[in-house]
Amino acid sequence: MTEIPKDHPRYESLIAREKVTAGVKMGITSIQGLISQGRGESFDYLIGERSTKSALYAERAAVAALLLAKNPVISVNGNVAALAPEKVVALADVTGAKLEVNLFHRTETRVHLIIEQLRANGASEVLGKNPDASLELSHARRLVESRGIYSADVVLVPLEDGDRCEKLVEMGKTVITIDLNPLSRTSRMATISIVDNLTRALENMIKLGVELKKERKEELVKLITTYDNKRALSEAISEIQEYLKTMTVELEY
Ligand code: ATP
């Protein structure tokens, strides 16, 4: 990876770019993953590169859902494995969720490399190598494990494609997504749509996991039943509008 000086004003963003590029070189991330990262970066600019109020509201409900689930699963793709392997492993640990590799551009080598990457970051078991069940999809993301995504009641699918998200919701699962684009099909389909950068969202969710684990079950149930995804998404769009207004005002003076 290229050395990025810590005092560079765009340090976080440049580091993320280096990580995804390194992921491609290592064979973990698909070349198309670079385009997803670029699209994410542009939305992050519009959001102001911060976790907004609506993101934190969704993250809290998402962690409550993971903690209350019978079989929570975190789905990992090549971008997630390149950007935040230690963070998905930590979130799985704190919430008791399983990890499963699930790829649109699936090759057995990539699945193997991602599993190794997660293991190197502390994961004990990672599903995805031996899919024995299928979702009703025509692409490789249909391949899942019966004791993982297939039977999960709550699934966290960071950086998802809209298709599979829709299918998982149709199957009656609580689907949590992390996607900086509040307009994507994924964000519109999910049960809990977190409009935040993957790295920031996972950091917030790990902290919330530690905090909410101490709460009574009724409190967690309340966080989920009072959560309104349409409200969260519409606030995410309003937060972008508000942020853009402040940027316009800055230019006027
Ligand atoms: P959809 O089918 O949901 O409309 P899409 O075609 O936009 O999805 P992809 O190209 O697979 O989907 O991109 C994945 C999504 O992930 C994009 O909306 C992008 O904004 C978002 N994204 C990319 N990188 C990050 C990141 N680091 N953090 C959060 N979101 C990200």
Q: pLDDT tens for residues 150-196? A: 999 999 999 988 889 999 999 999 999 999 999 999 999 999 999 99
Mean pLDDT, to the nearest integer, of 80-99? Answer: 98
Q: Residue 161: CB within 6 Å of ligand 1?
A: yes
Tokens of 194: 């977190």
Q: Residue 82: CB within 6 Å of ligand 1?
A: no
Residues 6+ positions from 131 with CB-CB distance below 8 Å:
143, 144, 145
Q: Residue 181: CB within 6 Å of ligand 1?
A: yes
pLDDT at residue 236 is higher than 70: yes
Atom 19, ligand 1: residue with shortest CA distance: 40
17 is in an annotated binding site: yes
Give residue 40 CA to ligand 1 midpoint distance, Å. Answer: 6
- Spatial distance between the Cα atoms of 86 and 121, rounded to a whole number of angstroms: 5
- In tens, the pLDDT along 106-145 reads 999 999 999 999 999 999 999 999 999 999 998 889 999 9
For residue 167, the one-letter residue type is: K
For residue 60, the one-letter residue type is: R
- Spatial distance between the Cα atoms of 119 and 129, rounded to a whole number of angstroms: 13
Instruction: Please tell us whether the domain made up of 53-240 is placed in CATH 3.30.310.80.
Output: no
As a whole-number percent, the residues of the chain with pLDDT over 70 amount to 100
- What pLDDT is recorded for position 184? 94
Which atom of ligand 1 sits closest to the CA of residue 159?
Answer: 16
Number of other CB atoms surrounding residue 35 within 10 Å: 10
Mean pLDDT, to the nearest integer, of 195-223? Answer: 98
Pocket test for ligand 1, best of 159, 177, 237 (most atoms within 8 A of CB): 159
118 is in an annotated binding site: no
198 is in an annotated binding site: yes
Phi, psi of 174 (to 5 degrees): -80, 115
- What pLDDT is recorded for position 211? 98
